[in-house]
Amino acid sequence: DLHSFILKAAAERAAQRAKEAKAAALAANADLETFRKECQARIAQKLLSKMPQVKAGDVMGEGAEGDACTFHRRKIAIVGAGPVGLWAAMLLAQKYRWTDSSGALRLRPDAPQIVVMEARSMASHCTRTDIRIALSSSTRSMLDQQTRSRAFSSGMPVAEIEENFLRRWRKVAGVEARIEYEAAVQDPKDLNGYDGILWSAGRRSLNEALRKDLGCEVRIGDSQKVIVFQVQELLAGDAWHLSSLDLSGAAQQAGRVPQLRVMLRPGFEGACACWLWVFGLPAELLESLVPKQASNEPRDHLVEAFEDLVGNDGGPLRAALEALQQRMKASGVTARVVDASFWSSDRAVCQLPSSVPLVLIGDALAGKPFYTGSTLNRHLWDVAKLVEEVEFAYDGGPLELSRFGSYERRYQDCVRRIGEFQRRAAAPVLPKPLPRMTSLTTLKRQDEGSPSLMKSLILPALARAAAAH
């Protein structure tokens, strides 16, 4: 009927108007969201345009005098550009990096300024191809991840490890990744103008008197003499195959010295075929040996090189070397005696008279004999943890000693746990650092992170910093 028709028409009109109102509301919301995003982008661009730029180690801002908006930067010295020193420099650069709008890696404006000093010349840096490092699978995984590569393998030369670290550091830090070559530093107290010093110049880079004065003397733990043979040629086959054989068993049986151990490490083309280490010599045998100087004239037999070294037949060791010679058919052999020992510093962190912390890393801190495995694996992990937990960017306070308390405690626990270091008593550890309220300096980001998320976090802090200036 007419009444029903009118009601139905009215309902349809009402439903149509509701649909149109909903569509208008959605359109308005979309326009509002677009407007909000455009406003955020304009504000972000304005703040980023005022952000200080890092160029050639200096922080430059835009303003009437060129420095209206700047960040204070700590200055960190790294002494020694070996694998550990370059690793520390690379990790510090990565910790304080971010990706700009073009996708390029840049240092944060508050990133610490890193100065690496190396005693060697540029020509001799990254040239140690005669030393190969047995990297563990976990270490290789960490290095590949940090360098964004698949370049690391067990047994690679030190030179290649250094080159990979240096390449990644230069990519992240740009023009700031530079090394002061032929800059031999004998005393860390001679370094002025630095907020902190990372010392990675090696085991004997600090003299005993200086270490005693700083409270970081080196103590020797378990130690033994080892006879090292360098072999130029193997007539019995490949060094990698020989290294997989039980040479220790053959030497023990022939010489009737059950403690004797033999380790063969393959060499490389241009240096030698392999190195052969003989250790675990009994005390009575060591007393009968009278080492002269390292033999320089290559011999065609292990026994001949050994006799050049000690001046006698060596008793039961001669029979062991005869058995090894039969297995290896070594030629062009020289020999020397070395002391293989555990060593460790009393402290990992010391304070210079200028109140600047001196942090020992790498072999300058501690180490173990080569036959226990490469100590570089442990050094790389220790430095990675150190860089991760310590705030090196300026946060309003000095880089005091207590910030390295966790690093010191881990080190003391390690040398006490390993009996060969012979560390019965622990050095006093540093107090835990007090928590600090930071804004920009506590923020970290990864290359794969979202640039918009990072901007939303740091822009308020930058705005407050710019307003304060």
Which of 175-179, 221-225, 429-433 has the highest mean predicted lDDT (pLDDT)? 175-179
41 or 170, greater pLDDT = 170
Per-residue confidence (pLDDT) for residue 63, from 0 to 100: 41
Angle (deg, nearest 10), helices 376-389 and 83-95? 30
Band (331; pLDDT cuts 50, 70, 90): very high
DSSP string, 64-82: SSS-SS-----EEEEE--S
Compute the distance between CA of residue 392 and CA of residue 275 in angstroms, rounded to an integer: 42
Of residues 436 and 110, which shows the higher confidence score?
A: 110
- What letter does residue 287 receive in the DSSP assignment? H
Q: By CB neighbour count within 10 A (0-12 exposed, 13-18 middle, 19+ buried), where does 337 fall?
A: middle
% of the chain with per-residue pLDDT over 70: 80
Band (pLDDT 50/70/90 cuts) for residue 224 is confident
Half-sphere exposure of 51 (CA within 13 A, CB side): 22
Query: What whole-number distance in Å separates Cα of residue 19 and Cα of residue 2?
Result: 26
CA angle 89, 95, 98 (to 5 degrees): 120
Rounded to 10 degrees, the C-alpha dihedral 42/47/49/51 comes to -160
Per residue in 19-56, pLDDT (tens digit) is 888 888 777 777 777 777 888 877 877 776 665 554 44
Contact partners, residue 250, CB within 8 Å, separation at least 6: 262, 323, 324, 327
Please count the other Cβ atoms lying within 10 Å of the Cβ belonging to residue 309: 23
pLDDT for 110: 86
Torsion of CA 86, 90, 96, 97, to 10 degrees: 150
Q: What's the mean pLDDT in 242-269?
A: 87
151 by Cβ neighbours in 10 Å (0-12 / 13-18 / 19+) ranks as middle
Q: Of 75-79, 163-167, 407-411, 428-432, which range is least confident?
A: 428-432
- Of residues 358 and 24, the one with the higher pLDDT is 358
- Give the phi and the psi of residue 366 in degrees, each rounded to 5: -165, 165
On whether the pTM is more than 0.85, the answer is no
Q: Give residues with Cβ within 8 angstroms of 243, minimum separation 6.
A: 264, 265, 266, 274
* pLDDT in the model for residue 265: 84
Alpha-carbon separation of residue 401 from 6, 291, 351 (angstroms): 87, 46, 7
